[in-house]
C-alpha cells in the first residue's frame, strides 16, 4: 500500500517506520521542517528503542520519506493515517484544531482526486470526531463519504519506552468505521501484526483509549492506596499485590468488568468497609476506596430514577438475590430498591427462581422478618403472574424467552440490570447501556 502519515511526532514516527518495515511505501507529512529533515536523513524524530534502526534501514531502502507538502503526499497515496497531536486545553478539554486542519488539507486535495481515498484517525480523539472530520471533508471537497472517501477510527496503544514492541504486539487492533471495504483494507494493512483485529462501532473505537488509560490510572491509584494502608500496619504491600495479580479467575478477568447494577451481598460491602476502617484508624487517606461506596449508591439511585420517570405504580422484580444462582438476598441492592418503592406506595410483585419462602431458614428468614416483613405477600411462584400484574419489570436474572417476552408485551416497560439482550426495543432500557 501507498500510505501517507500526517504528523511525525511520537505515534507518527513509530507508524511511519513500522509500516515501512512491513512492506508499505510511506510518505510522512509535517509542518515542522526539522522533523521532515530528520526523516529525510534517515533519522527518527523521537528517542525510542529500535526506531532509529528501523527508520535508517527503511530510508536507505527507499521505502519512506517526508515532506511539508501535503498535496504531494495525498496525490501519491491511497491511504492517509492522521497522527497529529491532540493536546489538552487550559480547561482540560481536548484541542482538536490539528485534526480539523488536517481534515481541511485532505479535503482541498480530494477535489483533485478521482480515486477513492481512505483516512484513518490514529490520534486520540473523543467520540464524534470521526463524523466531524467527514463533514469537514464533504463540505470543502464536494465529495461524499463512503462514495469518494471513507474514515476509520484506529486508536494506538503504544507505551513510551517500548513503542516498537507494542506496535507489533498490541493487545488487539481496533478498527471502527461505517464502511466495510475500509475495514477490510485496514485489516489487511495490519495482517503482520501479532494481535486480533476487532471491528467495532466508530464511537467505541474513539473512546476505548480513554477507558483503557483511565483503568490503568485506577489500578495504579488502587495499588498505591493499598500500599499506604499496608505500610501503616507493617505489611509488605508488594507481597499482597503479587497475590492479587496471581488470581486470574476473578482479580484479573472480565468477570467484574461488566457494566450493570450495584454490587451487594455479605462480603463485598463488609470487606470494603473493613479495609476503609483500617485505613482511617491509621490516619491513611484513601479517596479512591472511599469513592467506591458512593459510586455504588449512585447505581442504586439510577434504577430508582429510571422507574420514577415512568407513570406507573406496578413494579415486577425478576430476581431478588444479590447475584444469580443463590438464595442469599441479604444486603441485596434490589432489596433496598424494593424497600424504597414500598415506602412510596408502589405495588410490588417479585419472582426469584432460587427464592422459596417456605424453605428459608436461619439468617435469610431472620432478614425477611426484620427488614421486609411483607415479603411473603410479594413473592410469586410464577414468573408469568408477576409479568401480567406489572407495568414495569426489573430484570436482574435471566429467564427463558426474555426477548420474546419483551416483544409480547409492548405496553410494559422492561428495565434491564444485567444485559439480557443486545437488541433495541422501544419498551426496553438498560441501566447503563
Distances (CA, A) of 67 to 40, 85, 226: 8, 18, 50
CA atoms within 13 A on the CB side of 132: 14
Strands (E), 137-265: 149-153, 173-176, 197-200
Backbone angles phi, psi at 414, to 5 degrees: -105, 125
Give alpha helix (H) positions in 62-154. Answer: 70-75, 97-110, 129-141
Q: Which residues pair with 82 in a beta bridge?
A: 6, 121
Cβ 78 vs Cβ 151: under 8 Å: no
18 is catalytic: no
Cβ 82 vs Cβ 117: under 8 Å: no
Strands 117-121 and 64-67: unpaired
Backbone angles phi, psi at 34, to 5 degrees: -60, -45
3-state secondary structure of 228: helix
What is the enclosing helix (H) or strand (E) of 337? helix 333-343
Distances (CA, A) of 202 to 9, 132, 175, 371: 24, 12, 8, 47
Distance in angstroms between the alpha carbons of the first and the last residue of the chain: 38
Cβ 21 vs Cβ 57: under 8 Å: yes
Which DSSP letter does residue 393 get? E
Backbone angles phi, psi at 67, to 5 degrees: -155, 160
* For helices 129-141 and 97-110, angle between their N-to-C axes, nearest 10 degrees: 40
Cβ 322 vs Cβ 328: under 8 Å: yes
Which DSSP letter does residue 357 get? G
Q: Which residues pair with 175 in a beta bridge?
A: 199
Cβ 33 vs Cβ 68: under 8 Å: yes
What is the enclosing helix (H) or strand (E) of 348? strand 347-351
Q: Which three cell numbers stand for residue 243?
A: 497475590
Catalytic residue among 18, 267, 405, 432: 267
> Which sequence positions are flagged as catalytic?
267
Amino acid at each position: 500500500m501507498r500510505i501517507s502519515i500526517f504528523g511525525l511526532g511520537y505515534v507518527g514516527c513509530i507508524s511511519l517506520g513500522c509500516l515501512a518495515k512491513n512492506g508499505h511505501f510511506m510518505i510522512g507529512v509535517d509542518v515542522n521542517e526539522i522533523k521532515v529533515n530528520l526523516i529525510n536523513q534517515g533519522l527518527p524524530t523521537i528517542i525510542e528503542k529500535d526506531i532509529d534502526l528501523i527508520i535508517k534501514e527503511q530510508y536507505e531502502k527507499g521505502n519512506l520519506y517526508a515532506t511539508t507538502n501535503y498535496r504531494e503526499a495525498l496525490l501519491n497515496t491511497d491511504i492517509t493515517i492522521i497522527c497529529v497531536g491532540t493536546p489538552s486545553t487550559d480547561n482540560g478539554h481536548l484541542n482538536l484544531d490539528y485534526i480539523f486542519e488536517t481534515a481541511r488539507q485532505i479535503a482541498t486535495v480530494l477535489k483533485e482526486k478521482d480515486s477513492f481515498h481512505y483516512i484513518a484517525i490514529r490520534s486520540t480523539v473523543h467520540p464524534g470526531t470521526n463524523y466531524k472530520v467527514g463533514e469537514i471533508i464533504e463540505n470543502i471537497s464536494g465529495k461524499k463519504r463512503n462514495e469518494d472517501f471513507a474514515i476509520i477510527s484506529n486508536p494506538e496503544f503504544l507505551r513510551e519506552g517500548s513503542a516498537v514492541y507494542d506496535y507489533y504486539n498490541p493487545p488487539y487492533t481496533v478498527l471502527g468505521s461505517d464502511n466495510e471495504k475500509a475495514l477490510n483494507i485496514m485489516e489487511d494493512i495490519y495482517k503482520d501484526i501479532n494481535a486480533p483485529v476487532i471491528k467495532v462501532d466508530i464511537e467505541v473505537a474513539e473512546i476505548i483509549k480513554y477507558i483503557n488509560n483511565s483503568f490503568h490510572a485506577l489500578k495504579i491509584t488502587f495499588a498505591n492506596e493499598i500500599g499506604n494502608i499496608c505500610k501503616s500496619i507493617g505489611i509488605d504491600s508488594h507481597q499482597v499485590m503479587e497475590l492479587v495479580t496471581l488470581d486470574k479467575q476473578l482479580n484479573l478477568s472480565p468477570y467484574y468488568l461488566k457494566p450493570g447494577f450495584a454490587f451487594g451481598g455479605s462480603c463485598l460491602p463488609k470487606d470494603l468497609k473493613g479495609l476503609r476502617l483500617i485505613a482511617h484508624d491509621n490516619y491513611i487517606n484513601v479517596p479512591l476506596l472511599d469513592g467506591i461506596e458512593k459510586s455504588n449508591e449512585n447505581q442504586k439511585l439510577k434504577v430508582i430514577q429510571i422507574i420514577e420517570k415512568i407513570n406507573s405504580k406496578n413494579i415486577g422484580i425478576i430476581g431478588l438475590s444479590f447475584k444469580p444462582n443463590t438464595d442469599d438476598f441479604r444486603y441485596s441492592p434490589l432489596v433496598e430498591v424494593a424497600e424504597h418503592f414500598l415506602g412510596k406506595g408502589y405495588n410490588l410483585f417479585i419472582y426469584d427462581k432460587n427464592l422459596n419462602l417456605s424453605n428459608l431458614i436461619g439468617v435469610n428468614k431472620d432478614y425477611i422478618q426484620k427488614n421486609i416483613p411483607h415479603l411473603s405477600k410479594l413473592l410469586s411462584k410464577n414468573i408469568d403472574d408477576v409479568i401480567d400484574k406489572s407495568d414495569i419489570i426489573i430484570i436482574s436474572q435471566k429467564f427463558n424467552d426474555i426477548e420474546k417476552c419483551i416483544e409480547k408485551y409492548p405496553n410494559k416497560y422492561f428495565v434491564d440490570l444485567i444485559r439480557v439482550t443486545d437488541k433495541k426495543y422501544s419498551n426496553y432500557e438498560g441501566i447503563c447501556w
